[in-house]
Copies of this chain bind each other. A is one copy, B any other.
């Protein structure tokens, strides 16, 4: 099972510089030592490694809040179009195809989110959040209205907190209400003239719709703050509700969950940001707009500038566009309907308690007396990917589960069976799981205590 490191297969040191070098020796390094292997050896290496990796074509991936749904194959072909492989410094005149696609995607995203203007530049969701908060900051500053706080529900994604801090804001954490939603009294207490923005996701991180969203928006707007929508859960609402209609001023889109772009083991992603008209002038540079018979780039009047060296993760944007165009209105609405159906069906079939509801595309079950992380490890033995565990903290021993619309009933039943099998097992069994995977339980503490982060570090062992 064990696949050696490349460096264990070969290590070849090559001298650099010398008589044949095109550079004087003082401008070159001395040597490079790396594996030198043939193509057949590499093909086997990476093929074997791929076999030691779980993807969504291996089985279900119900990682709540993260999750993976099927990535349509044709979107890869479209993204590989050689005519689309252009350099970012080409003239606008010579890249009308690229600009048109970007324009269309800006337009589609605006319609889907109920937003007036969209930037495609942020290269991931967290970068989208950062962009959105910078836009909010620029807006307040433009109004001569420096504010110092961003309000965030305790159950929010960790990125919200980190993003606000990166932008220089103090974070005001909002405790959850008893029903799992925003507590309006707590919100009242939290917002003030110092509030730059409230960051919210809806449905929230346990799948509940914030029913009081209109009041929430009013409360934030009343103190002059802005409402930021974390788009992680927009996949629950397509065609049924739009952040713009709920009173949000800024939002980012999660393209892998909502628009089925592959996650590639951790990226690349894309985090387009939509804003209401009033904020459009602050968006990053450049944006795409129509001109006579074509498309052009322009810098919004009071642009915050750049959040990516060029135009973001182009290939990901192409795939998102292709997905949206493939599904259209009805397909998008159906994707949300089936995502919610699947979550509710799966929730109805498992023996663990689900404290909060009615939930939409995901639910947070509790492992109760069991350790949620152990339950997850045990589920690996049953051949499925487990849910997200121990988060959000408002649910003790949480198992946040999001099956997506692409699973069929049989697979959901398999998932339920895995949950239910673990439900009946003792702590010892769970603590020693998994047993059937390529690697057994991995020592995380040891990894952090004695960091070995390259094959060079292994030589020292």
Contacts and interface: CB of A to CB of B under 8 A. Distances in A.
Interface of A: 9, 38-41, 43-44, 47-48, 51, 57-59, 69-70, 72-73, 406-408, 410
Contacts of A43: 57, 70, 73
Contact of A58 (B39, B44, B58): B44
A59 B3 CA distance: 12
A58 B43 CA distance: 9
5 contacts: A9-B410, A40-B69, A41-B408, A43-B73, A44-B58
A72 B47 CA distance: 14
A47 B40 contact: no
Contact of A47 (B9, B48, B57, B407): B57
Contacts of A70: 39-40, 43
Contacts of A407: 40
Contacts of A72: 39
B57 A406 contact: no
A192 to B, nearest CB: 48
Contacts of A39: 70, 72-73
A70 B37 CA distance: 14
Contacts of A47: 57-58
A125 to B, nearest CB: 23
A43 B40 CA distance: 26
Nearest to A1: B383
A428 to B, nearest CB: 27
A39 B73 CA distance: 9
Contacts of A58: 44, 47-48
A44 B59 contact: yes
Contacts of A406: 38, 40
A54 to B, nearest CB: 11
A226 to B, nearest CB: 38
A414 to B, nearest CB: 12
A460 to B, nearest CB: 25
A48 B70 CA distance: 15
Contacts of A57: 43-44, 47
State the 10 A-B residue pairs at the shortest beta-carbon distance, nearest first.
A40-B70, A40-B406, A47-B57, A43-B57, A44-B57, A41-B408, A43-B70, A47-B58, A39-B70, A39-B72
A313 to B, nearest CB: 24
Given A39-B70, A40-B70, A44-B59, 10 more contacts: A9-B410, A38-B408, A39-B73, A40-B69, A40-B406, A41-B408, A43-B70, A44-B58, A47-B57, A51-B51
A38 B408 CA distance: 9
Contacts of A51: 51
A40 B69 CA distance: 9
Nearest to A40: B70
User: Which residue, A43, A51, A72, has most C-beta atoms of chain B within 10 A?
Assistant: A43
Nearest to A37: B408
Contacts of A410: 9
